[in-house]
Amino acid sequence: MDERRRAQLLGLKLGALVREHGGVAGAEAVAAPGDFGAGAALMAGTVAWVLVEDQPERGLGPALAWALRRKASELQVLAERGTGTLARRAEGFGFPINVWHVEGRTLLPAVALPLPVSPPVLLSHLEWRPTIEEGGALPTVEHGVLAGEVAGLEVCRVVDDRDTAAVRLEVGVGAHDRETFQLLHGNRPTAEALADVVQSVGQHRRPGSLRHPLNLLAQERLLRSRLIADPALIGATEVVAAEPPLPRANLKDAVPCVAVATIDGASAVVVCSVGVDLDVVPFALDARRSTGIEQCLVVVPGRDALDIQHRLAAVAAPPITIRSVDDASST
């Protein structure tokens, strides 16, 4: 469907829902086509109504940004899926937000979905940790998965063989690369094979490296690796990696990552993000919840520390701090 036509239909849909359930009549409940890129939005008096259509789980930040820019007094968020995540994240803001699940022409109050419980790593998988270290990668554990990273980029992962159920260490960047590497180098000693990949990836993940596909991936984790190496960048004495509140679905997707820092003797949860991600503050609320640490910093390159990010962080309860670092990176 043509994007303009799609935007018009979403606007009509939102207008009808608001008129039926918001008690707002006539032209006041008509959304401007294309006014909200991820769906549709309108103002009814001082109340912002936003229908999130694309990637609804990541729609709360953009919806709230739209409302704040228009000086709304409250926000009503509507979606057909992902409303449990939206409702959970909405609880972390001091700004009035209601989340509704759209079922046809009916609006149902969304029920907050709890964060998933992270499974433990199998002991049979942990036996590969020394091999990862021997190969020169940094072992990481996230949601039951043991992997190895180089400057924030995953280069190996411990898996169960689908056919034999045997545990093995797959080497490569991403699932496709690991499968290809296994076909080409299956008989090589794993530590030796991993060391070659670590060396190849490492030369492209150093500060000042020329632009390359290997330093365009996982840039938020590359930023985290800088903080781990130099905690003083954010006024910390120590920064250690932590697992995200939700597992990553795809290595190539840009998703914020999490660390825990020691600042002035107290713990702070740190969320790293690269690029203008309006949903990073709601993500940080999940990170705060999963770690149980109240003090929270969102760390971004200076070019990404926009005013709207500060405004979103200010209405979190308690507020979140946006901290920028210089843009000197491997890209």
Tens digits of residue pLDDT in 246-302:
998 877 788 999 999 999 999 999 999 999 999 999 999 999 999 999 999 999 999
Residue 207 lies in a domain: no
Residue 292 identity (one-letter amino acid): G
CB 170 within 8 A of CB 178: yes
Percent of the chain with pLDDT over 90: 72
Same domain as 128, residue 164: yes
Find the domain containing 127 and state its range: 123-202
Whether residue 276 sits in one domain with residue 217: yes
Q: How far is CA 208 from CA 84, 212, 230, in A?
A: 42, 11, 16
Does residue 220 share a domain with residue 197? no
Positive or negative, the CA dihedral 10, 16, 22, 28 is: positive
Listed residues 154, 180, 202: the one ending a domain: 202
Could you tell me if 217 and 194 lie in one domain?
A: no
What is the predicted pLDDT for the residue at 193? 85
Query: Please, which residues have CB within 8 angstroms of residue 179's CB and are 6 or more apart in sequence?
Result: 170, 172
Query: 275: Cβ–Cβ under 8 A, 6 or more apart, which residues?
Result: 219, 254, 304
Predicted pLDDT of residue 329: 46
d(C-alpha 91, C-alpha 112), whole Å:
8
The domain boundary, picked from 84, 109, 134, lies at 109
Q: What distance in Å separates the CA atoms of residue 243 and residue 289, rounded to the nearest whole number? A: 12
Counted residue by residue, the chain has a size of 331
Q: Choose the weakest-confidence range: 16-30, 148-162, 220-234, 258-272.
A: 16-30
Higher pLDDT: 320 or 19? It is: 320
Residue 277: inside a domain: yes
Res 151: pLDDT: 94
Answer yes or no: is 331 within a domain. no
Whole-number Å distance between alpha carbons of 222 and 8: 40
Whether the ω angle into residue 244 lies within 30 degrees of 0, i.e. cis, is no
**Residue whose C-alpha is closest to residue 35's, from 60, 58, 67:** 67
Residue with tokens 């509704």: 100
* Cα distance between residue 247 and residue 253, in whole Å: 12
**CA 36/CA 10 separation, integer angstroms:** 10
| Residues 93 and 140 placed together within one structural domain of the fold | no
Tell me 66's DSSP state. Answer: H
- 161 located within any domain: yes
**Which of 109, 133, 153 is at the close of a domain?**
109
Q: Are residues 183 and 235 in the same domain?
A: no
Residues 77 and 129 in one domain: no
* Structural domains of the chain, count: 3
**Cα first-last separation, the chain:** 36
Q: pLDDT for 82-141, tens place per residue?
A: 999 999 999 999 999 999 999 999 999 999 999 999 999 999 999 999 999 999 999 999
Are 20 and 65 in a shared domain? yes
Contact between 255 and 248 under an 8 Å Cβ cutoff? The reply is: yes
Q: CB-side exposure of 18: number of CA atoms within 13 Å?
A: 29
Q: Which pair of tokens denotes residue 186?
A: 């299956």
User: Residues 45-69: what's their mean pLDDT?
Assistant: 95
Token pair 């330093």 in the structure block, residue? 215
**AA identity, residue 196:** D
d(CA 290, CA 9): 38
What does pTM read for this prediction?
Answer: 0.91
Rounded Cα distance, 256 and 220, in Å: 6
On the question of pLDDT at 24 being above 70, the answer is no
Both 283 and 224 in one domain: the answer is yes
Residues 217 and 320 in one domain: yes
Residues 232 and 187 in one domain: no
Q: Is residue 186 part of a domain?
A: yes
77 and 171 fall within a common domain: no
DSSP 8-class letter at 316: B
Beta-carbon count within 10 A of 294 CB: 11
Position 253 in a domain: yes
- Element of type H or E holding 130: helix 129-134
- Residue 115 placed within a domain: no
What residues are paired with 141 via a beta bridge? 146
pLDDT on residue 185? 63
Please tell me whether residue 128 adopts helix, strand or coil conformation.
Answer: coil
